[in-house]
């Protein structure tokens, strides 16, 4: 019920370039969040590894978190590169922007 006014007032994209623009806009918002999540998991696993104090269970958990952090970073950066390739080289539209933090 909350999303009903949004779906009623929403307009469908008229052509494929608008679909690509919507997709790349969402990706440019979501990508920094997911990369930050992967980096956070990796650093958190590293901290847990440093403070494991020889406990096999703690070392295993820390290595597991570091592994998944690296996997998330690899997948997100690869996905970003693939989408950037398609947007700039295949479709010829240079609208995909590298995510960055605002300067203000």
- Per residue in 85-104, pLDDT (tens digit) is 777 777 666 555 556 656 65
pLDDT at 94: 58
Residues present in the chain in total: 104
Model confidence over 15-73: pLDDT tens digits? 777 777 777 777 778 888 888 888 999 999 999 999 988 889 999 999 999 999 999 88
Structural domain count of the chain? 1
Q: Which of 29, 39, 33 is nearest to 96 (CA)?
A: 29
Domain that holds residue 47: 38-92
Residue 32 domain-assigned (yes or no): no
pLDDT at 85: 79
Residue 79 domain-assigned (yes or no): yes
pLDDT at 1: 46
- Tokens 């933090």 correspond to 101
Residue 10 domain-assigned (yes or no): no
Token pair recorded at residue 61: 């958990």
pTM greater than 0.85 (yes/no): no
Average pLDDT over residues 9-19: 67
Q: What are phi and psi of 15, to 5 degrees?
A: -145, 180
pLDDT at 56: 92
pLDDT at 13: 67
Residue 69 domain-assigned (yes or no): yes
Cβ(28)–Cβ(97) below 8 Å: yes
Residue 2 domain-assigned (yes or no): no
Whole-angstrom distance, CA of residue 70 vs CA of residue 68: 5
Residue 29 domain-assigned (yes or no): no
Residue 87 domain-assigned (yes or no): yes
């Amino acid at each position: 019920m909350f999303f009903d006014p949004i779906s009623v007032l929403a307009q469908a994209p008229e052509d494929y370039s608008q679909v690509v623009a919507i997709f790349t806009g969402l990706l440019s918002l979501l990508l920094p969040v997911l990369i930050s999540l992967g980096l956070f998991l990796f650093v958190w696993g590293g901290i847990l590894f440093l403070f494991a104090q020889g406990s096999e269970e703690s070392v295993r958990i820390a290595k597991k978190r570091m592994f998944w952090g690296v996997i998330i970073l690899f997948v997100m950066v690869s996905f970003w590169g693939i989408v950037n390739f398609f947007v700039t080289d295949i479709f010829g539209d240079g609208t995909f922007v590298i995510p960055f933090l605002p300067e203000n």
